[in-house]
Structures are given as structure tokens and as C-alpha cells.
């Protein structure tokens, strides 16, 4: 089964920029950006990020404010701040043996960097990989990681898998099955996430009086370290102007 998957991947795998490098920093950037953000949106932002900060040392030397501005539009802005903190830690101390020691790096992201950058014998299991594993009942090796991701993202879809073009269909026990709709993520429009994003966008453009902003959203952003409040003025980290 794995041989058929790898042959399919050789012919149909997606040509993604982070697959052309073994640089652990570049792969970490891609994996953090890909958390809860679609591949199509990530590609241009990933390329722009590496053009601006091509090394972990360059990112570490950036200001948190510049990093937050650069992250705007990708969503879940704490990811950008954690990536910056991770870069500072790596630039100072080197890559840790346990990658989950880095800010914002959980088990999946750690496994992905370990596999794709450091060539460790570990299979990163995201939602797509887990789906293929569960439906086929097959234990794939770490070398099938990228292929499993692509198969799950483009063929073995969550609700209506495209079994007619699947390279594993012949021996898959789930062939022809359809599944209940997945629980959708809560709507962004009108949500507190939207209020946070709106407030952060305004502050990223220019510091603002707290009285002109959504106070509850600002309080939440401040707890996450995304903004600072000084003398009634809200600004990005390190940019607050103290008012008398």
C-alpha cells in the first residue's frame, strides 16, 4: 500500500516551496503558518516572510511590532508572536533536542520539523494523515509523511472522499464510504476573534487611545502580549508612548 502511495505522490504531489529546503527555520515558518490557515494563503506570505527575514537570526533581531504587522491577515496572531519568540530562543541557544520546548511548538509541529528538516524517523500526524491512516487501517512509515498529507488534502477528503482516483482504493476497507459533515468552525463574522482582529489591525496601523477601541478586545490582546497599554494609549509591543 505504501509503495502505491509513494508512486502516486511522485506523479501528483504538490510543489510547495517549503518542500524544496531542509532549512529547519524555513520549515518551522511554514508549519506555524499552516496551523489553521489554508495552503493557498500561506504560500505568498511564506515567500514574503523569508525574503524579509531569511534566517532565524534575522527574525530574532526584528521587533515584535514588525513581526505582528507582517503576520496581519494570517489569523491567530499569537502564532506570529510565538514564532518570533522561538526564533529568539534558537538564535540565543541553538535548536533544542526537544522541539516542543520552543514557544508555540506542539507535538505535531515538532514532529514535522524533526522529520522534514532533521530527517528524524518520525511520522507527523495531522488531520489529513490521521484520516488516511484510520480509513486504510495501514501503518505507514515516516517517509510517507508528505504523501499522506497530500492524499488527505486532495483525494481522501473528510466528507466525500474521491475514491475513484485514489491510489489506495483497491485495498482500502473504507472505499466508497461517505461521512457525516464535520463540525464547522464557529463563524468569524461577529465573533470575539473578529473584534480582536479589528482592534489589532487598528493598533498595527498607528497607536490609538484606549477610549477609541474595543476595551474587552484590547484587554485580551494585552494578555497575549500582542499590544501594550501605556498612559491610556494602545500600541504594539515596544511602541507605546507614555503620556503624562
pLDDT tens for the chain, 244 residues long, are 999 999 999 999 999 999 999 999 999 999 999 998 999 999 999 999 999 999 999 999 999 999 999 999 999 999 999 999 999 999 999 999 999 999 999 999 999 999 999 999 999 999 999 999 999 999 999 999 999 999 999 999 999 999 999 999 999 999 999 988 766 667 778 889 999 999 999 999 999 999 999 999 999 999 999 999 999 999 999 886 644 3
β-pairing verdict for 228-230 and 208-209: unpaired
**For the chain, how many residues are written?**
244
Catalytic residues: 31
- Same domain, residue pair 105 and 178: no
| Residue 73 buriedness (CB in 10 A; 0-12 / 13-18 / 19+) | exposed
- Same domain, residue pair 135 and 168: yes
Q: CA 156 from chain center: how many Å?
A: 21
- Same domain, residue pair 105 and 135: no
- Same domain, residue pair 176 and 204: no
Confidence (pTM) = 0.91
- Same domain, residue pair 5 and 57: no
Q: HEC string of the chain?
A: CHHHHHHHHHHHCCCCHHHHCCCHHHHHHHHHHHCCCCHHHHHHHHHHHHHHCCCHHHHHHCCHHHHHHHHCCCCCCHHHHHHHHHHHHHHHHCCCCCHHHCCCCCHHHHHHHHHHCCCCCCCCCCHHHHHHHHHHCCCCCHHHHHHHHHHHHHCCCCCCCCHHHCCCHHHCCCCCCCCCCCCCCCCCCCCHHHHHHHHHHHHHHCCEEHHHCCHHHHHHHHHCCCCEEECCEEECCCCCCCCC
Q: The domain spanning residue 149 has which CATH number?
A: 1.10.1670.10
- Same domain, residue pair 132 and 179: yes
As for how many domains the chain has, the answer is 3
**What is the residue range of 86's domain?**
23-116
Residue of 57, 87, 91 whose CA lies nearest to 71: 87
Task: With respect to residue 18, please indicate whether it lies within any of the assigned structural domains.
Answer: no
- Same domain, residue pair 32 and 87: yes
Task: With respect to residue 242, please indicate whether it lies within any of the assigned structural domains.
Answer: no
Indicate the residue among 116, 135, 163 that finishes a domain. Answer: 116
- Same domain, residue pair 202 and 154: no
Q: The domain spanning residue 54 has which CATH number?
A: 1.10.340.30
Amino acid at each position: 500500500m505504501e509503495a502505491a502511495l509513494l508512486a502516486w505522490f511522485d506523479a501528483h504531489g504538490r510543489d510547495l516551496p517549503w518542500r524544496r529546503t531542509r532549512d529547519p527555520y524555513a520549515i518551522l515558518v511554514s508549519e506555524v503558518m499552516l496551523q489553521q490557515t489554508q495552503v493557498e494563503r500561506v504560500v505568498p506570505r511564506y515567500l514574503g516572510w523569508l525574503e524579509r527575514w531569511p534566517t532565524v537570526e534575522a527574525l530574532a533581531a526584528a521587533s515584535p511590532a514588525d513581526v505582528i504587522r507582517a503576520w496581519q491577515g494570517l489569523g491567530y496572531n499569537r502564532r506570529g508572536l510565538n514564532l518570533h519568540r522561538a526564533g529568539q530562543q534558537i538564535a540565543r541557544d541553538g535548536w533544542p533536542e526537544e522541539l516542543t520546548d520552543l514557544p508555540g511548538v506542539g507535538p505535531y509541529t515538532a514532529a514535522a520539523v524533526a522529520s522534514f528538516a532533521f530527517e528524524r524517523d518520525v511520522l507527523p500526524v495531522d488531520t489529513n494523515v490521521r484520516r488516511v491512516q484510520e480509513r486504510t487501517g495501514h501503518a505507514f512509515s515516516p517517509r510517507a509523511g508528505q504523501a499522506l498529507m497530500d492524499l488527505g488534502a486532495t483525494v481522501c477528503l473528510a466528507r466525500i472522499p474521491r475514491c475513484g482516483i485514489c491510489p489506495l482504493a483497491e485495498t482500502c476497507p473504507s472505499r466508497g464510504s461517505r461521512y457525516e459533515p464535520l463540525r464547522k468552525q464557529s463563524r468569524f463574522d461577529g465573533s470575539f476573534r473578529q473584534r480582536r482582529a479589528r482592534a489589532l489591525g487598528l493598533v498595527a496601523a498607528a497607536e490609538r487611545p484606549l477610549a477609541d477601541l474595543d476595551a474587552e478586545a484590547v484587554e485580551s490582546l494585552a494578555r497575549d502580549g500582542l499590544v501594550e497599554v501605556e498612559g491610556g494609549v494602545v500600541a504594539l509591543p515596544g511602541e507605546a508612548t507614555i503620556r503624562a
